[in-house]
Amino acid sequence: MVIKKDYDKLIFPLIKQTFLKDKHLIIKQMKELEEAKKVLLTESKALENASKQIDKNFVKALDILGENNKKVILCGIGKSGHVAKKLSATFCSVGTTASFLHASEAVHGDLGIHQKDDPVIFFSNSSSTPELLNLIPILKKRGAKIVGILGNKNGPLVNKVDVFLNASVEKEADPLGIVPTASFMVATSIGHALAICLMKRKSFSENDYAKTHPAGQLGRNLLFSVKDVMHTIKEIPQVACNTSVRELVFEMTKKPMGAACVVKNQKLLGFVTDGDLRRGLTEHKDFLELETEKIMTTQPQTIYPSISLGKALDIMEGKEKKISVLPVLDPSNNNLIGMLRLHDIYSPQSST
């Protein structure tokens, strides 16, 4: 039999050990959270300082990059190469034709992507990347003007590019102060600023953006309208006012759209959703024997076929209530011509 004294000797050390283990774990987690915050604050401070370094050279860079709608070549190596590659995609998506050129591969054939007078952006944190220095005379012979987004104000590239944009940072965000973190963010953000300012110069609109993103939801919302994705009159469940709820359920089961239209001579008289049926079953005796007009919504929200999917989405996901399905009416005579589901807006299979 274990007496209380022996029990205490066994249990208390275990409790103490567990407590100390949890305490050390909590302290470790708190330190990691503080380190994470420190990284974000360091990068945020670097971006704030970078915004103060923007000067008239930025406008000169815009003039070079936007001249005659030439293709922009973004060039770098290592982490700076990753920045250049990412930004080339951003430039393309907002109306500036651009392409990434790897600084090492350029002299082994990839330089063919650069055409006469194409402007170039160099990315280098050290401002002394040998591969970029070696490209300058070649590019100059091709009529290229070069914008340098450079991290060292005293590096040799600063005096060799046509326009220098200062991407220097006080310190990196890592404990060693050598990993491209803050400098990566600053160079990327300056590139973003160039892309967005060029976008504004060209009056690049939402419709223009949609044309470069036709497979994305934003592109679908802008490029397609309700008529492109809606279900036609033959595909949707329709019943008369005096149809019993039992027959209504059969019709909605045959054509599962989440709702049914109550019609007469092609005019929409009412609307019944799956939710109406579920509520009715709990609220009415002999619910299935009721006539449909007793449970239908007589003035449902409707939509027209010419409305863009983006506007349709705003209607269906409005702040007041969520709508999963809408009747579609012909604007010329208000005849029922189809039905639109929320799912149809998001599903690429629905578009033509």
The count of domains in the chain is 2
Taking residue 232's Cβ as centre, other Cβ atoms within 10 Å add up to: 11
The reply to whether 23 falls in a domain is no
CATH number at residue 117: 3.40.50.10490
Taking residue 161's Cβ as centre, other Cβ atoms within 10 Å add up to: 22
Residue ranges making up the domain that contains 94:
52-204
Same domain, 139 and 58: yes
Rounded Cα–Cα distance for residues 328 and 236 (Å): 11
Is the whole model's pTM more than 0.75, yes or no? no
The reply to whether 13 falls in a domain is no
Rounded Cα–Cα distance for residues 209 and 202 (Å): 12
User: Which residue, among 250, 340, 262, has the nearest Cα to 298 in the 3D structure?
Assistant: 262
Same domain, 245 and 139: no
The amino acid at residue 100 is F
Same domain, 60 and 195: yes
The reply to whether 320 falls in a domain is yes
Integer-rounded Cα Rg, in Å, for the chain is 32
Same domain, 233 and 191: no
Q: Are 120 and 114 in contact (CB under 8 A)?
A: yes
Rounded Cα–Cα distance for residues 169 and 150 (Å): 10
The reply to whether 3 falls in a domain is no
Same domain, 193 and 236: no
The burial class, CB within 10 Å (0-12 / 13-18 / 19+), for 306 is exposed
CATH number at residue 273: 3.10.580.10
Same domain, 161 and 264: no
Chain centroid, CA 280 distance in Å: 41
Q: What is the DSSP string of 57-75?
A: HHHHHHHHHHGGGPPEEEE
Same domain, 326 and 246: yes
Same domain, 196 and 233: no
pLDDT values of the chain reduced to their tens digit, one per residue, 352 residues: 445 556 566 666 766 677 677 777 777 888 888 999 999 999 999 999 999 999 999 999 999 999 888 999 999 999 999 999 999 999 999 999 999 999 999 999 999 999 999 999 999 999 999 999 999 999 999 999 999 999 999 999 999 999 999 999 999 999 999 999 999 999 999 999 999 999 999 998 877 877 776 666 777 777 789 999 999 999 999 999 999 999 999 999 999 999 999 999 999 999 999 998 988 888 877 888 899 999 999 999 999 999 998 899 888 987 667 889 999 999 999 999 999 999 998 876 544 4
Rounded Cα–Cα distance for residues 118 and 112 (Å): 12
- Determine the Cα angle at 61 with ends 57 and 63, to 5°: 115
Q: Are 272 and 291 in contact (CB under 8 A)?
A: no
CA torsion angle 115 121 124 127 (round to 10): 90
Same domain, 258 and 188: no
The reply to whether 283 falls in a domain is yes
The reply to whether 27 falls in a domain is no
Same domain, 332 and 244: yes
Rounded Cα–Cα distance for residues 158 and 36 (Å): 33
β-bridge partners, 261: 238, 271
Chain centroid, CA 159 distance in Å: 38
Same domain, 61 and 197: yes
The reply to whether 291 falls in a domain is yes
Q: Which residue's entry shows tokens 């380190």?
A: 35
The reply to whether 259 falls in a domain is yes
Which of 171, 204, 237 is at the close of a domain?
204
Q: How many CA atoms lie within 13 A of 325 on its CB side?
A: 17
Rounded Cα–Cα distance for residues 177 and 107 (Å): 32
Rounded Cα–Cα distance for residues 264 and 296 (Å): 14
Two tokens at 32? Answer: 């990691």
Q: Are 293 and 227 in contact (CB under 8 A)?
A: no
User: Which residue, among 147, 132, 149, 146, has the nearest Cα to 190 in the 3D structure?
Assistant: 149
Which of 170, 204, 238 is at the close of a domain?
204
β-bridge partners, 123: 149
What is the pLDDT at residue 116? Answer: 94
In the chain, beta strands by DSSP E: 72-76, 98-102, 120-124, 146-150, 163-166, 231-232, 238-239, 259-264, 267-273, 325-329, 336-341
Same domain, 234 and 158: no
